[in-house]
Amino acid sequence: MFADPADVRHRLDAVDYLVDDGLAMALFLASRLGRPLLLEGEPGVGKTAAAKALARALGADLIRLQCYEGLGVSEALYEWNHQRQLLAIRLAEARQEKLAEADLFTADFLLDRPVLRAVRHPGPVPPVLLIDEIDRADDEFEALLLEFLGEHAVTIPELGTFTAVRPPTVVLTSNRSRDLHDALRRRCLYHWIEYPAPARATEIVRRTVPGAPATLIGAAGAFVARARTLELDKAPGMAESIDWVAALTVLGVTDLLAPGLPATLGALAKTPDDLTQLTAAFPEGTP
Ligand SMILES: Nc1ncnc2c1ncn2[C@@H]1O[C@H](COP(=O)(O)OP(=O)(O)O)[C@@H](O)[C@H]1O
Ligand SMILES: [Mg+2]
């Protein structure tokens, strides 16, 4: 449990995740009110990392549901263990016993998937459930989550409703590749994560790439900031900044003036067009 937003900031800092005041407040309120938090932002701004860091800071288990097209109940919520059911039927037959249908749909034959696993987590610390990239799932999938998001409960038609004794901390992320239903948004607190401001970006890279010279981190940060003002297909996020500084550090350079460095831009650019643009912008990015 967090005492206040400053406590969130300190404890996340201790696991090397750096928040601004807005995100500290959002995480604090979500965890104290037991409400799901929907995090949106450009790819690579630290949405997934926020949920992972939150779990570490709380000493909680992280349960992760990566969303994808076609995701449904049996991968996200629960599934009946058909093999065990079949076995039970065969066993009953061999013993010449009769099995009622209800005998086959008990908790014994249930397989927990991430959402139900979070609901039935034995504690004592409630888990953090990360529902990652919800915008990748079909929009019908959102409807399957509404009961859970509103009531921390999962209803299984054959069995009844499971409600979490202690509500899990729920973080949903979206890259906004499509819009989400109002019904889902209404059940969540919301926070938009911006790219970190230069000072924080510098500190994030410093902690993530041990051995990177401060001058290099500064110069790379300035170039990445410039890159984000270009019309790129994929603006570089923190993940790309980190990769690039790691690449430059491996090469032993301390600034962007060494020859041949445009060849490292594959760490930042992810399409041929972006590579062309960034290569053209490169000399101007040097201090
Ligand atoms: N505020 C932050 N503090 C520490 N590291 C961060 C932060 N934001 C981003 N990162 C780093 O950037 C990487 C990419 O972030 P990620 O969570 O994968 O982005 P997203 O899920 O938004 O696409 C993470 O692995 C993490 O190392
Ligand atoms: Mg992510």
* Ligand 1 pocket mutation pick from 11, 37, 238, 244 by most atoms within 8 angstroms of CB: 238
pLDDT of residue 86: 93
Q: Profile the chain (287 residues) by mean pLDDT over runs of 10 residues.
A: 95 96 96 95 94 97 97 95 93 89 89 96 94 95 96 94 95 95 96 93 94 94 93 93 96 89 93 94 59
SS3 for the chain is CCCCHHHHHHHHHHCCCCCCHHHHHHHHHHHHHCCCEEEECCCCCCHHHHHHHHHHHHCCCEEEEECCCCCCHHHHCEEECHHHHHHHHHHHHHCCCCCCHHHHCCHHHEEECHHHHHHCCCCCCCCEEEEECHHHCCHHHHHHHHHHHHHCEEEECCCEEEECCCCCEEEEEECCCCCCCHHHHHCCEEEECCCCCHHHHHHHHHHHCCCCCHHHHHHHHHHHHHHCCCCCCCCCCHHHHHHHHHHHHHCCCCCCCCCCHHHHHHHCCCCHHHHHHHHHHHHHHCC
- Cα of 46 from ligand 2 centre, angstroms: 7
Please report the atom of ligand 1 found closest to the CA of residue 19. Answer: 1
- Cα of 76 from ligand 1 centre, angstroms: 24
Tens-digit pLDDT profile for residues 232-270: 999 999 999 999 999 999 999 998 988 889 999 999 999
- Please give the model's pTM, rounded to 2 decimal places: 0.91
